[in-house]
Amino acid sequence: MGKAQLLLLPFAWLYGVLLRIRHWLYDQGLLKSQRPSVPSIVVGNLSFGGTGKTPHVELVINCLDGIAPLATLSRGYGRNGLGTLKVEASDTAHAVGDEPLQLKRKHPDVHVYVGADRVKALAEMTTRIPDLKAVVLDDAFQHRRLNAGLNILLTTWTKPWFKDHLVPAGTLRDVTPQARRAQAVIVTKCPGPPSADAQAVWRRKLGLQGQQQLYFSAFEYAEPGALQPDGSMGEALSLAGTSVLLLTGIADPAPLLEHVRKRSPEVAHLPFPDHHEFTAGDLQKAAARMATFAAAQKMLVTTEKDAMRLLPHLRTGPLATIPIAVIGVRAVILNEPERFKQLLIDHVGTH
């Protein structure tokens, strides 16, 4: 631990005390939680981003394929507003958030909603969507007012919660004993399937109870697809022999950067903060970098999430004449994927 972290630890401890008081009030029933009438599945984490929640929300959606109507709910981080709103494919990231817009464009049959008050939003959704079978909530584990039926908690292979600290000394926003509320824990961004012995070690270090299921997942990246002005994906493109300027506005670009470096002879990275709303200056910076960083054949590559925020700038402006490709990502369960799928189906089926 660095010196700066040591200086911040007292503030983290104070924050931890406040969190524990809050949780005690909920545990004692002094603050009330509400169980939704519709099956609810939360994909959350204890930290501030970077665990891969959106790909795992898509994983849950894919596991529930054939169950309809199905809906998702998230806050819609970065959007303009806090109220409950149904997301349409024609919306902008500024209006509904980049991740909800991405989900709607990839899963048009799913009802995608955003709302800061998860309890209120769920109540409105059950009224608006007749015979709703289930709602998948992106990032609602910390909302104790919502007593979800199934909690899936994510942590990463490289920085699990037992190696982290509460903010401001670390990236955790909740105390680690709260992990016991999850029915399943997924260690994400794994380099490969861990052995049975390694899984047992992880269970011990994560402090899991006997009934809690433990899974390990990895990212699989699709071939880059040419981004069209309407947001659709064109033909698949190869990175072989092509220099890449990787533009990202995500919490943890390291795995994607490593993936691209294995496939391109020359890679430059232009990082922005998570959910960054690109300005004219940002786009000019990207265009200038594209003009100078490599002499050979080159391409600007970004993520699906960042593409949602770039769409308004593709028809005019500095990026209008620059070839842009998008790399899609999906999460896959490395151990017992059928058991994970059955966990979801059984939860929805009990209702």
Report the alpha-carbon distance of residue 190 to residue 210 in Å, rounded.
22
Contact 209, 230 (CB under 8 A): no
Report the alpha-carbon distance of residue 121 to residue 308 in Å, rounded.
23
Report the alpha-carbon distance of residue 185 to residue 153 in Å, rounded.
5
Question: What does pTM read for this prediction?
Answer: 0.93
Residue 179: φ, ψ to 5°: -60, -20
- For 111-132, how does the pLDDT look when each residue is reduced to its tens digit (9 = 90+)? 999 999 999 999 999 999 999 9
Report the alpha-carbon distance of residue 185 to residue 245 in Å, rounded.
35
Least confident interval from 47-51, 170-174, 203-207, 294-298: 294-298
Q: Which residues of 288-297 are buried (b: 16+ CB within 10 A; e: fewer)?
A: ebbeeebeee
From the CB of residue 28, how many other CB atoms can be counted at a distance below 10 Å?
A: 8
- For 278-294, how does the pLDDT look when each residue is reduced to its tens digit (9 = 90+)? 999 999 999 999 988 88
- For 156-197, how does the pLDDT look when each residue is reduced to its tens digit (9 = 90+)? 999 999 999 999 999 999 999 999 999 999 999 999 999 999
Report the alpha-carbon distance of residue 173 to residue 189 in Å, rounded.
20
Give the per-residue pLDDT at 255: 93
Contact 136, 41 (CB under 8 A): yes
Nearest to 92 by CA among 84, 100, 6: 100
pLDDT over 90 at 6, yes or no: no
Q: Under the phi-then-psi rule, with left for phi > 0, alpha for psi from -120 to 50, and beta for the rest, what region is 231?
A: left
Taking domain 3-67+133-219+332-349, whether its CATH number is 3.40.50 is answered by yes
Contact 146, 34 (CB under 8 A): yes
- For 51-110, how does the pLDDT look when each residue is reduced to its tens digit (9 = 90+)? 999 999 999 999 999 999 999 999 988 787 888 999 999 999 999 999 999 999 999 999
Domain 223-327: state its class. Answer: alpha beta
Contact 280, 303 (CB under 8 A): no
Q: Where are the domains of the chain?
A: 3-67+133-219+332-349, 223-327
Nearest to 303 by CA among 240, 229, 235, 227: 227
Calculate the average pLDDT of the chain: 93
Report the alpha-carbon distance of residue 167 to residue 46 in Å, rounded.
11
- Intrachain domains 3-67+133-219+332-349 and 223-327 with the same fold: yes
| Rounded (10°) angle between helices 337-349 and 53-63 | 70
Give the per-residue pLDDT at 35: 93
DSSP one-letter code for 289: H
Report the alpha-carbon distance of residue 122 to residue 65 in Å, rounded.
21
Q: What percent of the chain has pLDDT over 90?
A: 82
Q: How confident is the model at residue 202 (pLDDT cuts 50, 70, 90)?
A: very high
Q: How confident is the model at residue 306 (pLDDT cuts 50, 70, 90)?
A: very high
Dihedral of the CA atoms 322, 99, 124, 32 (nearest 10)?
A: -150
